[in-house]
C-alpha cells in the first residue's frame, strides 16, 4: 500500500477574467449538486450571487463556496518541509527518502509494504480544510455578507483527497470549537470530494455521507462546464 501525504497549490493564471469564470464554474457545480442531492431543501430558484456565492431567497438559505487549496507556493513548500521532517522521524531513512513531487501539486509519498490491491491511499491533513473554513468564517462575521435564516459553507476538495469519516468528524469538532467564539455560525458545511459528499450539520453535531456515482459526478461536471463555456 502506498500512503501519500501532500499539499495542493492553485495554478498561477495571468488572465483575471478566466480566473473569475473558473470561480463561476465551481459555484455552478456546487449549486447543481445541492439541488440534485437535496431537492426538498434547495429550490430551483437558487441563484449565483456574491457574499454569499449561492442565494436561495425562497428558502432563506445562503451558501458560500470555496476550494480547499494552498494559495502560495511558499506555503506549499513550508508545509512539505514540515511533513518531510515529521515523516523522517517516523519512517526508516530509506523509505522517507523516497519522496517526490509532480508538476500539478506538491506531493510527498512514502512507499510502504504493498497490501491488498496496492492502490494508493491518500492521507490529507486537516490543515488546508481548517484554513479554508477559518477564512470564510472570518468573512461571514465581517459585516459584508447578506445573512440568511440558514448560512452554509460548501468546500470543494481536490480530486486526490480522500478524507476518512473519522477525519471529517475531527474537522467538525475543531470547526465547532472555532466558530463557538463568533457571533455568526455556519449551520451546515458541505464537503464535496471525489466520490463522496458530506453534509455536516454543525447545529446537531452529526453528518450525512452520500456516495456519488461516476455518472453523477460526470453529469454535475458536464452541466457546470456547459455554463462555464457559455460564459467565456
Give CA–CA dist 29/192, Å, rounded: 10
Angle made by CA atoms 148, 150, 154, in degrees to the nearest 5: 105
Read off the pTM: 0.73
Helices (H) and strands (E) in the chain — how many of each? Answer: 6, 10
- Retrieve residue 203's grid coordinates: 447545529
Task: Per residue of the chain (232 residues), give pLDDT as tens.
Answer: 223 333 333 344 434 334 446 778 899 999 999 999 999 999 999 999 999 999 999 999 999 999 886 544 455 556 556 655 655 555 444 444 444 443 333 333 333 333 343 333 344 678 788 989 999 999 999 999 999 999 999 999 876 567 889 989 999 999 999 999 999 999 999 999 888 999 999 999 999 999 999 899 989 988 988 865 665 5
Pairing of strands 196-201, 206-211: antiparallel
The residue count of the chain comes to 232
Amino acid at each position: 500500500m502506498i500512503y501519500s501525504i501532500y499539499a495542493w497549490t492553485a495554478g498561477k493564471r495571468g488572465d483575471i477574467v478566466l480566473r473569475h469564470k473558473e470561480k463561476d464554474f465551481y459555484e455552478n457545480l456546487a449549486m447543481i449538486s445541492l439541488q440534485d442531492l437535496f431537492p426538498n431543501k434547495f429550490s430551483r430558484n437558487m441563484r449565483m450571487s456574491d457574499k454569499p456565492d449561492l442565494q436561495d431567497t425562497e428558502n432563506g438559505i445562503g451558501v458560500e463556496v470555496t476550494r480547499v487549496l494552498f494559495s502560495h507556493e511558499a506555503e506549499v513548500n513550508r508545509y512539505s518541509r514540515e511533513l518531510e521532517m515529521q515523516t523522517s522521524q517516523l519512517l526508516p531513512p530509506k523509505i522517507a527518502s523516497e519522496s517526490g513531487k509532480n508538476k500539478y501539486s506538491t506531493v510527498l509519498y512514502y512507499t510502504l509494504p504493498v497490501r491488498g490491491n496496492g492502490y494508493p491511499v491518500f492521507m490529507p491533513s486537516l490543515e488546508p480544510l481548517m484554513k479554508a473554513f477559518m477564512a470564510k468564517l472570518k468573512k461571514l462575521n465581517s459585516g459584508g455578507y447578506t445573512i440568511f435564516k440558514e448560512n452554509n459553507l460548501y468546500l470543494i476538495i481536490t480530486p486526490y483527497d480522500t478524507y476518512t469519516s473519522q477525519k471529517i468528524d475531527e474537522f467538525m469538532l475543531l470547526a465547532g470549537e472555532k466558530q463557538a467564539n463568533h457571533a455568526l455560525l455556519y449551520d451546515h458545511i458541505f464537503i464535496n470530494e471525489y466520490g463522496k459528499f458530506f453534509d455536516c450539520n454543525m447545529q446537531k453535531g452529526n453528518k450525512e455521507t452520500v456516495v456519488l456515482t461516476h455518472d453523477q459526478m460526470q453529469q454535475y461536471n458536464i452541466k457546470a462546464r456547459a455554463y462555464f463555456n457559455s460564459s467565456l
